[in-house]
Amino acid sequence: MREFAYERPSSLDAAVAAFAGGGEAALIAGGHTLLPAMKSRLRQPDTVVDLAGVPGLTGISREGDTLWIGAMTTHATVAADAVVAEAIPGLAALALLIGDPQVRNRGTIGGVLANNDPSADYPAALLALGGSVETNLGSYDADDYFQGMFATALSDGEIIVRVGFAVPTASAYAKFRHPASRYAVVGVYVAQTAAEVRVAVTGAGPGVVRWAEAEAALTASFTPEAANGLILGGDLNTDIHASAEYRAHLAGTMLARAVAAAA
C-alpha cells in the first residue's frame, strides 16, 4: 500500500469537493472492498475520502409504501431494526446472512450497492423489491442501476445518499453460502406485491438479474411447487466453487426455499 492523502469531510458538498481535488480518488464506507484492493495494489488512490463523518447518510424510516435506508447504515443495523422487521422482514433476514458479525457491524448498504459485487446480497433485494438508489445528483430505479459485473449507473465520484425499497405484501431471500466468505454461490430474492411478482438472482452469473421464467410461474401460483423443474438460463459462472450447470439447478432450489419462507 503506497502513501495517500486521507480526507474525512463533514458535509456531502465537502466530500464531493475532496473527491474532485486532483489525482485518483476513492470513496470509502465500510472499507471491505477498497482496503483489500489497496493492500494488493489493485487500487492505488492518491486520496481516500471517508464518508463516515458526513451527516445524514445513516438512518431508517418508512414513508408510505417505501422503506428508506441511509447509505452508511450498517448491515447489523438493518438486521436488528424494528422498522425493517415490520415492513420487509425478508430484508432484515438477508442482512443477517451477510458475512460475519465483524463484517455486519462495519459494512454498509451503500458500499455494497456502489461496488455491485456479482455475489453480493443487497442487489438481489433491491432488484426484486423494485427499489431505487438516491444520490447527490439524482436517483436511479433498480432496473436501470445495475449494469454488469462491478458496474452501476453511478458516475465517477457520485455518492449514494439513501436507498429505497418498495414494501411488498410478501418477500424472502434464500442463498447457498460459500462457507468461508459467506458470499452467495447462488442467492434468490422473491417479492410479491398486489401488482406483480419479481424474482432476482445473485451469485449465479456476472451480475444480479431478474428471472422472468420464475416470475411467470409464481404469478400463476405463488407456491414452492411452482419452482419445480425451473432451471436458470443465461451466462452463468463456472469456478472452483460450482459449475454453471450446478448453479442453474441450485437457483431453482433457492427459489423454492425463498417462496416457502415468504409464504
Whats the size of the chain, residue-wise?
A: 263
Pairing of strands 139-141, 132-135: antiparallel
Position 217 scores a pLDDT of: 98
pLDDT of residue 176: 97
Burial of 28 per CB tally in 10 Å (0-12, 13-18, 19+): buried
Classify each residue of 92-114 as buried b or exposed e, where b means 16 or more C-beta atoms within 10 Å of its C-beta: bbbbebbbeeebbebbbbbbbbb
pLDDT at 180: 85
Buried b (16+ CB within 10 A) or exposed e, 136-151: eeeebebeebbeeeee
pLDDT in tens, the chain (263 residues): 789 999 999 999 999 999 998 889 999 999 988 998 899 998 999 999 999 999 999 999 999 999 999 999 999 999 999 999 999 999 999 999 999 999 999 999 999 999 999 999 999 999 999 999 999 999 999 999 999 999 999 999 999 999 999 999 999 999 999 988 889 999 999 999 999 999 999 999 999 999 999 999 999 999 999 999 999 999 999 999 999 999 999 999 999 999 999 98
pTM of the full predicted structure? 0.95
Q: What pLDDT is stored for residue 32 in this prediction?
A: 87
How do beta strands 170-177 and 184-192 pair? Answer: antiparallel
Q: What is the pLDDT of residue 33?
A: 87
